Structure 1
Amino acid sequence: MSYRHTLTAFILAAVITPGAHAQSFDPGSMKTPDGQPDISGTFTFRTLTPFQRPQALADKVALDTEEAAQFEASERIRLNRDLFDPESG
């Protein structure tokens, strides 16, 4: 019985190892031919986090909970201005 388990473990390891190696990550593949980072792809705007810090928040390192809630509400209004109903909020 021990021989069968050992043989099974060896065969399983021999089958899994090449697959794991084939999936290894090559950091060089994330570069353009001139060596710059490759940031091509599909980007969406499904986040409230701005790409650049707003001027009003330039001197703040972090927001407290209340300020974050205010910023989130103002961004939702700004980003959905065509969907915003000022009467109902």
Structure 2
Amino acid sequence: MISRRSVVVYFVTAALAIAPLFAAAQSSTGTQMPWGDPDLQGVWDYRTITPLQRPGDQAGKEFLTEEEAASLEQEVLDRNARLLTRSSEVTSASDQVDR
């Protein structure tokens, strides 16, 4: 026969085992700034061609066409190649960066 103590131990163990499931099921609205906008602080991944802010010529467009995406990607590749092959310059302390 199972003792009363064993039954209590089983119930406590079961409750502790399923408690994380209830905590994980709770929804979150995400963090927001004091004025109500979403909080975008964090790590921004630079490995894609997705800009942080949409350029003015793409305002109102939800998606790029295949041709537009290919053109944008080629522009990025050309810019990177141009920056890698440019000659080095002697720099001095100033408020200008990469100019």
Structure 1 length-normalised TM: 0.49
Larger Rg: 2
TM-score (norm 2): 0.46
